[in-house]
Amino acid sequence: MNYPEKIREQAEAILVRYPEGRERSALLPLLHLVQSHDGYVSDDGITFCADVLGITKAQVQAVSTFYTMYKREPAGDWLVSVCTNTLCHAKGGQKVFDALSDDLDVGHDETTADGKITLEHAECLAACDYAPVVTVNYEFYDDMDEAKALELVNELKEGRRPIPSRGAPLCTLRELSVQLAGFEEERTAGLEGNAQGDATLAGARLAAEAGIAAPAYDPNAPLLVKEPEEAK
């Protein structure tokens, strides 16, 4: 694929973030960049990243298949992830997934016939204090059940963007990939967001009440400590 000039300019802007000789570290944001254009990491995207970095397509593909945020098949505008790990499962996560699977007529890592919604199991979404949780393009919808999840997906079907329980306003997978590539959100609404959830702050609040604090950190402390001479 002959990527448009804007994508090529953004790729160059990504490269200059890294020291000379370390440009290969730009691979992760470059993969997000091609995903923002294609909607997934296509074979053309693999070739583009390899050419930009001067590495092999096999090396690019190895990275793109390691991280689940890179989709190797066309994905929908809305990636709906349902946590079915231990706590979410115990509180009904699998029932939520099954209800959505039946409603959308898709299974894990499959996309609806209209290409709008991709459904996936998620091993952990790091939000056990709000279990069971669902994310849409990695934005949280907390304390879900089958009815709430179906209502959420119905809003997506109707072209609306339901407000997440906390965090940034919802954006499409392509819009999100632009941000993950390291570029500013172009939508004014995308810069707005609501506060953290109360359950997340409960531990910090209890620690403060008990007078517990993390040890002080000296930002000027060296990161590398020389070994004592006798230890050599």
* Mean per-residue pLDDT, 100-109: 97
Residue ranges matching CATH 3.40.30.10 in the chain:
78-171
* Mean per-residue pLDDT, 158-184: 92
Total number of residues shown for the chain:
232
Please enumerate, by residue number, every residue annotated as part of a binding site for [2Fe-2S] cluster. Answer: 83, 88, 124, 128
User: Is the alpha carbon torsion for 170, 171, 176, 179 positive or negative?
Assistant: negative
As a whole number of angstroms, the distance between CA 69 and CA 177 comes to: 9
Which residue type does 187 have?
R
**What is the pLDDT confidence band of residue 31, given thresholds at 50, 70 and 90?**
very high
Asked if the model's pLDDT at residue 231 lies above 60, the reply is no
* Mean per-residue pLDDT, 49-62: 96
The count of C-alpha atoms lying within 13 angstroms of the C-alpha of 193, restricted to the half-sphere facing its C-beta, is 13
Which residue type does 94 have?
Q
* Top-confidence residue, 226 or 123: 123
* Mean per-residue pLDDT, 136-141: 95
CATH superfamily ID and name for 78-171: Glutaredoxin (3.40.30.10)
Q: What pLDDT score does 201 carry?
A: 82
Pair 117, 153: CB distance under 8 Å: yes
As a whole number of angstroms, the distance between CA 80 and CA 139 comes to: 10
Residue ranges matching CATH 1.10.10.1590 in the chain:
1-74+172-187
Q: Which residue has 């499409």 as its token pair?
A: 172
Please state, as a whole number, how many other Cβ atoms lie within 10 Å of the Cβ of residue 128.
16
Please state, as a whole number, how many other Cβ atoms lie within 10 Å of the Cβ of residue 51.
12
Q: Which CATH code for domain 1-74+172-187?
A: 1.10.10.1590
**Which residues, including other chains, have CB under 8 Å from residue 164's CB and lie 6 or more apart?**
136, 139, 140, 141, 170, 194
pTM of the model: 0.83
Q: Which two tokens stand for residue 59?
A: 């090396």
Please enumerate, by residue number, every residue annotated as part of a binding site. Answer: 83, 88, 124, 128
Q: Which two tokens stand for residue 158?
A: 């109707």
